[in-house]
Chains A and B, each alone.
Chain A
Amino acid sequence: MTEPAIVADGLVKSFGAIEAVKDVSFEVPEGKVLGLLGPNGAGKTTAVRMLTTLVRPDAGTARVLGVDVRKNAQRVRASIGLAGQYAAVDENLTGRENLALVGRLTHLSGDEITRRSEHLLEQFALSHAADRVSRTYSGGMRRRLDLAAALVHQPPVLFLDEPTTGLDPQGRNDLWGVIQALVDGGTTVLLTTQYLEEADTLADNIVVIDHGAVIAEGTATQLKERLGATVVEIGFRDDDATVRALVLLAAIGSVTRDGKLVRVSVPGGEGPRAMLDAVRLLDAEHLDPTTMMVREPTLDDVFLELTGHTTVDADDGDES
């Protein structure tokens, strides 16, 4: 099969005057993980909602396993699982009942429901709480139950909309382990996230979107390479010093400013050399930095470079 598991081609969606998604295209090959990365309000959730048949695109096409989401929504629904940023479980049902509910609504036999539920409860470390109402679960447990519910009918394609938002580091690590196991098992995953670390850890390929449009695409490594391999980061005491340093340091590499921090991007391997140059230049002007360090760029730098703002720089919510 040559058709990728997920295809988004020129998707557009507006809500009234708000253009949530202006032009989004990407593909996810079977068995791979795509990280859809962007800040709040970038259009990630809307893109996922179009691919999962919840919202009709205004223009463009979306296919899952070769099936058009507009023309044959029910067939798409049979082969996808969706877990969202809100743990969509029924609080008054037990963990086991929540899984049975999805099993029945996907028309599995009673035996299949029992077998799948047992397996998932065990896999997601929920067996001990299987017969408690999910209202009593911790945030991490609910999120795991939500993900388990998305997997009852063994969908080959999984959509995860900010799966770890709001979880503590332990809960996030647990969930990463579970997602990795699914991917190892051959599931195709589209994952949206605001966390660069998450995309870096889980995704084979990353699509960066901002204000409803794709602004970059590639593997984590490719995205980092695109921007010069090394960053020299120098902090200053006040704005005046920062501005003066910004002008000086432009001689060494491309500079960006973030508050009282100046970042100088230089080609890979030239970090120490650039550091030395920076020290000479600053010393000659009697500019005393508060911090100085050389580091390999994170995806955060990529994002800053591409969008002009960091990922924490949230505009409107995306929680429609």
Chain B
Amino acid sequence: MTTTVSAPTPLSARVYRGHAVGDAITMAWRNLLNIRRNPQLLVFATVQPVIFVVMFRYVFGGAIQGSLPAGQSYINYLMPGVFVQTIVFGALTTAVGLADDLSKGLIDRFRSLPMARSAVLVGRTLADLVRNFFVLILVCTVGFIVGWTIETNVWGLVGAFGIILAFAYSLSWLFAIVGLSVKDGETAQAVSFPILAVLVFASSAFVPVATMPSWLQPWARNQPVSVVIDAARVLTIGGPTREYVIKSILWIVAIVAVCAPIAVARYRKVT
């Protein structure tokens, strides 16, 4: 072991402004390296949606078909629902990842560095966005294999993916709050699951809202997961798109506008 001879002066005695973007990219790089080192997590993330595709397509599909408009193929109805439920459950990883960083002391390290206060959260949510993109591609491939077709055109598909990913990004901020409010990854998972289940199952993901009890319908029709799924449906199946797309964007903007400041405030104060 060698000995330093001169008294150290900090190498980086600069004023720390304008590093928000660079620091967020650094954090995203770190989180993506984590995903690359654990590729099995990406695969596991697709197992559950693939089971759903196969199960709903071949087991429940016949029963649900009857409540769909005449001529509507169930697999084409189903796939947008599967995409959205995949990224909604994927939002759990934002909560679990942050809670793990917190319990392992990494957040303490980051908070003791002269880096932008927003970078840990922005980097985390950006990395989760990239991850969601790859998971969607995998689920999409499985969909094509079991007979999914796009009834509009390729731009409809791009638009649908754009909205789904933007929605995924907004949910990452909601679950960042959860991740920063619990003591470890397992607790984050336990706390998140009920929120996710209510969002996904009381929605138009797998069955038409019209088949639900009347007290549930207003929620199921207007809650963000349903709205985003409906937007993805009209974009890939056809029909008037404007209403669902606008509602989706409003939900996405509202979720980020409310959750991001709360998450950053929690990050600053977390102990």
Contact = CB atoms under 8 A, between A and B. Distances in A.
Give the interface SS of chain B, mostly helix, strand, loop or mixed: loop
Most A-side CB within 10 Å, residue of B38, B111, B119? B111
Contact of A84 (B4, B105, B113): B105
A16 to B, nearest CB: 11
A102 B114 CA distance: 10
A3 to B, nearest CB: 16
Interface in A54-81: 54-55, 74-75, 77-80
B114 A74 contact: yes
Contact of B105 (A15, A31, A88): A88
A236 B188 CA distance: 54
A78 B13 contact: yes
A297 interface: no
Contacts of B112: 52-54, 77, 80, 82
Nearest to A152: B11
B40 interface: no
Contacts of B33: 92-93, 97
B104 A107 contact: no
Given A15-B271, A86-B105, A90-B34, A185 B11 contact: no
Interface string B183-223: 00000000000000000000000000000000000000000
Nearest to B270: A54
A78 B27 CA distance: 18
Given A123-B1, A186-B7, A106 B105 contact: no
B1 A125 contact: yes
B30 interface: yes
A139 interface: no
A125 B16 CA distance: 32
B97 to A, nearest CB: 11
Interface stretch (A153-161, A217-225, A273-281): A153-161
Interface in A98-117: 101-102, 104-108, 112, 116
Contacts of B22: 104, 107
Contacts of A88: 104-106, 108-109
A154 B11 contact: yes
A177 interface: yes
Most B-side CB within 10 Å, residue of A82, A104, A105, A177? A105
A137 interface: no
A252 interface: no
A184 B7 contact: no
Q: How large is the interface on A (under 10, 10 to 19, 20 to 34, 35 or more residues)?
A: 35 or more
Given A88-B106, A185-B7, A106 B12 contact: yes
Nearest to A112: B11
Contact of B26 (A49, A82, A104): A104
A227 interface: no
Given A104-B26, A177-B1, A155 B8 contact: yes
Interface string B15-47: 010010011001100100110011000000000
A53 B3 CA distance: 29
A185 B34 contact: no
Contacts of B12: 78, 106-108, 153
A26 interface: no
A126 to B, nearest CB: 11
Given A92-B33, A106-B113, 10 more contacts: A15-B271, A49-B271, A79-B10, A88-B105, A92-B37, A93-B34, A107-B12, A178-B1, A181-B2, A187-B8
Interface of B: 1-14, 16, 19, 22-23, 26-27, 30, 33-34, 37-38, 104-106, 108-115, 119, 271
Interface of A: 15, 31, 49, 52-55, 74-75, 77-80, 82, 84, 86-93, 97, 101-102, 104-108, 112, 116, 119, 122-125, 133, 149-150, 153-156, 177-178, 181-182, 184-187, 320
